[in-house]
Structure 1
Amino acid sequence: MTITENQPRTNELPDTPDPESHSPSRWGPKLWAVLFVAGLAMFLDALDVSMVGVALPSIGTELGLETSSLQWIVNGYILGYGGLLLLGGRMADLLGRRQVFLTALVVFGIASLVGGLVDNEGLLIASRIVKGVAAAFTAPAALSIITTTFKEGHDRNKALSIFTVFGATGYASGLIASGLLTSVDWRLTFYVPTVVVAGVVIAAFFVVPKTTDRERGSIDYAGTVTLTGGMLAAVYTIVTAPETGFTPLVTATTIAAVLLLGAFFVIENKVAHPLVRLSIFKVKSIVRANLAALAIFGSYISFQTIVSLYLQNTLEWEPIQMALALAPAGIIVAILSPSAGKFIDRYGTKSMIIVALASFVLGYLWFILRGGNPEPNYFADYLPSFLLLGLGFAIGFSAVMVQATEGIADDEQGLASGLVQTSGQIGGAIVLAIVTGLISGGVATNLDQYRPGLYMVTVVAIVGLLASATALLGRRTAVEAA
């Protein structure tokens, strides 16, 4: 079913496809089915993350968990997800996207079921880590299934735009569903994803085509071991150091991360069939896409954390109130994302990413200026900020994914997909670690305690905006010179 032709590997790729790539193809039922199944995997990941976040207080109350343990219910998922995303994407190329996708979905469902059944803190956190590992394989596999099924240009832009809708819908519905399910039993937030997984696995078995273009050559076991160990050690350090400081264990993981990742880069330069072709980092458009992903997710994840703490702890809102307050951001993504592909066709990914990052910056600034009112009005003080962030995601996510994967050969689409998603996760972990240190210090009585974190979030978005704007300015200068 794959209809994408391999593209040349160059150091710079055009911002917009050639005229022929703008010609839309007629999508039959099979193509729509593939897109729907891959999108459901994105929906599932977003659904799970948002539901567990809202359910944390109830989990802590029933199981008697401290805040540090509750944090690891989130960080455990991040550890597995961020630590193995790059490997997961590459394995999809080497072992076959369909095989990796189906296997990882089954593991995800089993881990979710176990998490709902256990009463032990260690087992619950372990299930979250396994769940994150499974998501690290399903996410890049799903994205690479789309990028290899739909030809580069109009069709792929449209498909990725629709793909974004699934993520936004999953996140928004997860917020609301968790508020309702948690009022009955927090374990339902673990059981519901299991049911969704069962349906996705059955559909994927019949819909997703078998891989016929996997990369030939032996698996780079040395690269696999050093990359996996190095990334896990690095992510563990990032999510742990802000809370505990550089304890002997954290210091050891820091040293291990440096040594293992250093060894990985040495190995990849010498082996005949590297796990990661390092020359992919010479493609400037891919580097820019990864920087944009880092800025978008790094800033937004921290902003959402600050808003959640402020609304629930300071203003004493109920979880369902907070969920409904944030829902418009997801709704606007669901409404606007289907049109993102048309704008990418017309204006190119660089321009769209600039507009998206500018929208994020404005959203953060609005909250800084208006969010701390003693008697806040939701529609005047909060809603504009959330709508601007929704707009940024609606046009930015698709543009980043298109830029990160365009011009890449089919046998490396998993690598490119895993790389850009890793950048987003690592960016989120790093910025959140810094922000957590800036805003720590007990329950705040107003927004002032959170302002240093909000300033940091805004700076990250501004840096991403300037980097993207500089790239666009350089392109225009080159065109004028030519």
Structure 2
Amino acid sequence: MLITARFVTGVAAAFMTPAGLSIITTTFAEGPMRNKALLVYAGTAAGGFSLGMFVGGLLTAASWRWVFFAPVILATAILVAGVRLIPRVAATRGDRREGFDLAGAVTITAAMLLVVLTVVRAPDVHLGWTATTLGASAALLLAFVAIERRSAAPLVRLGLLRSAPLVRANLGAMALTGSFFGFQFVTVLYLQELREWSTVETGLALMLVGIDSVLAPTLTPRLVERWGNVRVIFGGFLLAAVAYALFLPLGTDWTYPMMLPTLILTGLAFALAYGPLTIAATDGVAEAEQGVAGGLLNSSFQFGSALGLALVTAVNVAVTEPGRELDGYRAALVVPVVAALAGAAVMAVGLRRRAPRTQEEREAVMV
């Protein structure tokens, strides 16, 4: 039942998140106003990550069942508010798509699942099994590309991927969530399993990361206006790498003040990278494909977080020996550092200042 519930939740998020992002990008014209709206959107999402940790701890202290029931109440309230507040827009003839690319959806989903499964199982299985599942994932990815080339209504128009900024933004999204949730997972294990902190104490400790919900709509817009998306994202990844690296020498006797630099820098880094990545992934994309661009970005965020969690888990399991849990945590924390540096390297490719796209360049992406 738990797996089924998680599956249904994921399907619902896959519908809602790109649609919500598309409402913003099609309501506001490309420019400062859209950027500010997207950064408020990002700040709200970031606040949800942090507040969820704290509220989850409180609910678990009461009963673990409330962790699953409370979101139902919240979702119902949001649904009622959304029906009343979100304006209805009639779909035009050009907005309607012929059919649904089920084969493409199945192949790309299976390919991503196999990658995550391969990483999680790698410490416990023979190398041949790992190579086989990776090969199967690659074959499914090739099948997806072939299907998209022939489909009358492709899940993703492959021409959209000719946009280098869009590709960089999605790779950066994977690196950001992979490093962030990987770090958060190891930190929770350290605090609760090794230090024996309660769920409430852990939630309160990590709530400091929630400064991103304040900084994203206030500080980040000014930095983006002054320096541009790419430089701000690049700076965010560098700060993230520093933050995670500062946590590498963690010990059993660490006090909370010793953790503060990492927690504060992590919140700042997320504020600098998350919102601008959302802007970069939708910037220059035609209005008709804003939903697709939002879907790609959401998939990158989700796949990155799943892959990051799989990697830190695999490293932790491979290194940990009985009575030496701290060694496993330290080794696993290398993964977020490497992921953040990889994100910085990806964004460094686009550091050179570019003039705004001309109409001809935008039309080239549409081909």
Give the TM-score range, shorter chain: 0.7 to 0.9
* TM-score under structure 1 length normalisation: 0.67
Distance 1:162 1:295, change over 3 A: same
Of the three residues 329, 332, 349, the one matched with 1:453 is 332
For residue 470 of structure 1, what is the aligned residue in structure 2? 349
Matched pairs, number: 348
Q: Give the distance between the partners of 1:250 and 1:366, measured in 2 at CA.
A: 33
The alignment partner of 2:150 has SS state of coil
Aligned with 2:304 (options 427, 434, 440): 427
Question: Does 2:176 correspond to 1:296?
Answer: yes
Q: Are 2:161 and 1:281 aligned? A: yes
Query: Displacement, 1:475?
Result: 5.0
- 2:214 paired with 1:335: yes
Change (3 A) 1:134 1:152: same
Are 2:294 and 1:414 equivalent residues in the alignment?
no
Is the contact made by 2:182 and 2:305 (CA closer than 8 Å) also made in structure 1? yes
Shift in Å at residue 219 of structure 1? 2.7
Distance (whole Å) between structure 2 residues aligned to residue 211 and residue 307 of structure 1 = 44
Per-residue CA deviation, residues 49-100 of structure 1 (Å, 9 max, x unaligned), is xxxxxxxxxxxxxxxxxxxxxxxxxxxxxxxxxxxxxxxxxxxxxxxxxxxx
Residues 271, 448 of structure 1: alpha-carbon distance in 2 compared, 3 angstrom cutoff: closer
1:83-141 CA-to-partner distances (Å, cap 9, x unmatched) read xxxxxxxxxxxxxxxxxxxxxxxxxxxxxxxxxxxxxxxx2221111111111111111
Letter in 2 for 1:312: Q
How much does 1:227 deviate? Answer: 2.1
Aligned AA (2:14): A
Separation (CA, whole Å) in 2 of partners of 1:250 and 1:207:
49
SS at match of 2:29: coil
Matched, 1:386 2:263: yes
Asked whether the equivalents of residues 146 and 159 of structure 1 are also in contact (C-alpha less than 8 Å), the reply is: yes
* Equivalent residue runs for 1:180-195 within 5 Å: 180-195=58-73
Contact kept? 1:303, 1:454, Cα under 8 Å: yes
Secondary structure of the residue that 1:275 maps to in structure 2? coil
Offset of residue 226 of structure 1: 2.1
Q: For each residue in 1:281-330, what CA deviation from the matched residue of structure 2 results, as whole angstroms up to 9, or x when unmatched?
A: 11111011111111111111111111111111111211111111110001
Q: Does 1:375 align with 2:256?
A: no
> In the TM superposition, what is the alpha-carbon distance from 1:180 to its structure 2 partner?
1.9
CA pair 421-245 structure 1, distance change in 2 beyond 3 A: farther
Percent identity over paired residues: 36
Determine whether 1:134 maps to 2:23. no
Cα drift, residue 245 of structure 1: 3.9
Q: Contact between 1:230 and 1:258, CA under 8 Å: does it hold in 2?
A: no
Q: Is the 8 A contact 2:148 2:156 kept in 1?
A: yes
CA distance in 1, matches of 2:99, 2:136: 20
Contact 1:219–1:275 (CA under 8 A) maintained in structure 2: no
State the Cα deviation string for residues 165-186 of structure 1 (Å, max 9, x = none): 2222222222222222222221
Task: State the Cα distance separating 1:361 from its structure 2 match.
Answer: 0.8
Bigger relative contact order, structure 1 or 2, given CA contacts below 8 A and separation 6+?
2
Distance 1:207-1:443 versus aligned 2 partners, 3 A rule: farther
Q: Residues 444 and 384 (structure 1 numbering): CA distance in 2 closer, same or farther, change over 3 Å?
A: farther
Taking the aligned partners of 2:325 and 2:307, their CA distance within structure 1 comes to 25
CA contact (8 A) 1:293 1:420 kept: yes
Please say if 1:143 is aligned against 2:57: no
Deviations 1:222-244 (A, max 9, x none): xx222221233223323433236
Amino acid in structure 1 at the alignment position of 2:111: A
Letter in 2 for 1:187: R
**What CA distance in whole angstroms lies between the structure 2 residues aligned with 1:410 and 1:218?**
15
- Which ranges in structure 1 are unaligned for 5 or more consecutive residues? 1-122, 477-482
- After TM superposition, give the deviation of residue 412 of structure 1 in Å: 0.6
Structure 2 CA distance for aligned equivalents of residues 325 and 148 of structure 1: 38
Length-normalised TM-score, structure 2: 0.87
What is the one-letter code of the residue matched to 1:430?
A: L
CA distance in 2, matches of 1:232, 1:443: 36
Cα distance in 2 for partners of 1:217, 1:145 equals 16
1:70 is matched with none
Structure 1 distance, partners of 2:223, 2:91, is 31
- 1:268 equivalent in structure 2: 148
List runs of 5+ in structure 2 lacking aligned partners. Answer: 356-367
| Cα root mean square deviation, aligned | 2.5
